[in-house]
Chains A and B, each alone.
Chain A
Amino acid sequence: MAKNREVLEMLIPAGGYVYTGQTYEGIEFLECEPITKKQWQDGFAKYDAWKAEQDAAQAATKAALLDRLGITEDEARLLLS
């Protein structure tokens, strides 16, 4: 199950909040529009799919870049070492 911090990063990517623990009541919306408790609860159900999308998009971007450079992932890692 997703953690509070992961759900908040998904729902409020620009930040502006402080939270304590894993409850909605522990969230302070200081520099952002507050979300409702319902939105927050729904976020836990949506998180896994959202994360999979993010990971897939990141993998696609990485693959496209490697393809453009004409090198493998291991060769890219060697370049950065």
Chain B
Amino acid sequence: MAKQTFTTGQVLTAAQMTSLQQTAMGGGSATAKTASYVLVAADAGTTVAMNAAGATTITVNTGLFAAGDTVFIQNLGAGNCTVTAGTATVATAGSAILPQNDAGILYFTATGASIFYDFIQAGAVSPLTTKGDLYGFSTLDARIPIGANNTVLTADSTQSLGLKWAAPAGGGKVLQVINATYDVEKGNSTTTYADTFLEATITPSSATSKVLVLVSQNGVAKSVSDTANKLRLMRGATQILEFESAAGYTGSALFNNVGSVSTNYLDSPNTTSATTYSTQFARNTAAGTVYVQADGASGNSTSTITLLEIGA
């Protein structure tokens, strides 16, 4: 019941006693509100129950309540209800925003000063709904949805919750490694470059990444003609490095099995598309044949290529 002023000798009715008892126990009949509301003096000692689908406010003004007065405020509706300072102050250690099924007590320390004791700390409804969700805050408690796999939580003041999920910064780190081998002998008796069939494909996670290409072209040889083996590294159809121009050269008509020719090349493909690195070979003079993965007495030689994506 609303705050009463009793007089000497007044006889209280059973209804008054019941209402007073309910109020003393923190209950009592509620005054239902369905829209934003400005508290009045008669609300002292009562329960104001907001029930609206949209956001509402309950405004607190000075000159209506005395020190020690209380108003119990509950929100039954889906819309948040905000206890708002009008001409009186409203202090709180919690939140002045009541989500659905939250409540609190407005306690006046003076006619123009109040404290709102929010019950949210006693257990409000969690905004979390999904595995991996985080508890965040904007102007009220809110859900930070779980991000995509392999992303990390990053502070970003432009986001409503101040956080976002983003790909990890990979500066200087090896982000992925691709490896391939090829062990079938190939011969080329022309001066036109031919594929060695040693190749590997990488899809960089960022256009700023570099790709470190490690090649070990094995079984490199030349035939019994005065020639030599030249080799080049390709990105797609583009030559990025001729890493050998005279492997096996003897200055004579002798078969020469060089063995391994290697190269390390740091490339900047500037793409996030699948990118294929390969090697090609050719003879460097007008006669003879050159070989890669040459077949030896104990089997073919195996060439290897390794691609490392290096974060910018």
Distance in Å from the Cβ of A80 to the closest Cβ of chain B?
11
Q: Render B216-249 as a binary contact track against A, CB cut-off 8 A, 1 for contact.
A: 0000000110000000000000000000000000
- Judge if A38 is at the interface, Cβ distance under 8 Å: no
Given the interface contacts A5-B223, A9-B223, does A14 sit within 8 Å of B190 by beta carbon? Answer: no
B186 touches A15 (CB 8 A): no
- Judge if A31 is at the interface, Cβ distance under 8 Å: yes
A19 touches B186 (CB 8 A): yes
- In the bound complex, CA of A4 to CA of B295 (Å): 10
Given the interface contacts A15-B287, A21-B184, does A9 sit within 8 Å of B224 by beta carbon? Answer: yes
A22 touches B224 (CB 8 A): no
Contacts of A28 in B (CB 8 A): 194
Contacts of B189 in A (CB 8 A): 8, 12, 15-18
B287 touches A14 (CB 8 A): yes
- In the bound complex, CA of A58 to CA of B47 (Å): 117
A17 touches B190 (CB 8 A): yes
Give the residue of A8, A18, A31 whose beta carbon is less than 8 angstroms from that of B186.
A18
- In the bound complex, CA of A36 to CA of B194 (Å): 22
B197 touches A20 (CB 8 A): yes
> Which residues of chain A (1-48) have a CB below 8 Å from chain B?
3-5, 8-9, 12, 14-22, 28, 30-31
A5 touches B185 (CB 8 A): yes
Give the residue of B185, B190, B291 whose beta carbon is less than 8 angstroms from that of A16.
B190
- In the bound complex, CA of A38 to CA of B180 (Å): 35
- In the bound complex, CA of A48 to CA of B43 (Å): 115
Contacts of A5 in B (CB 8 A): 185, 187, 223, 289, 291, 295
- Judge if B301 is at the interface, Cβ distance under 8 Å: no
Give the residue of A12, A20, A22, A30 whose beta carbon is less than 8 angstroms from that of B192.
A30
- In the bound complex, CA of A9 to CA of B189 (Å): 9
- In the bound complex, CA of A3 to CA of B291 (Å): 13
In the complex, which residue of chain B has the Cβ closest to the Cβ of A12? B189
Report A's interface with B, CB cutoff 8 A: 3-5, 8-9, 12, 14-22, 28, 30-31
Report B's interface with A, CB cutoff 8 A: 184-190, 192, 194, 197, 223-224, 283, 287-289, 291, 295
User: Can you give 16 A-B contacts (C-beta < 8 A)?
Assistant: A3-B295, A4-B187, A5-B185, A5-B289, A5-B295, A12-B189, A14-B287, A16-B189, A17-B189, A17-B190, A18-B194, A20-B184, A20-B185, A21-B184, A30-B190, A31-B190
Known: A21-B185, A28-B194. 7 other contacts (CB 8 A): A8-B187, A15-B288, A18-B188, A20-B184, A20-B186, A21-B184, A22-B185
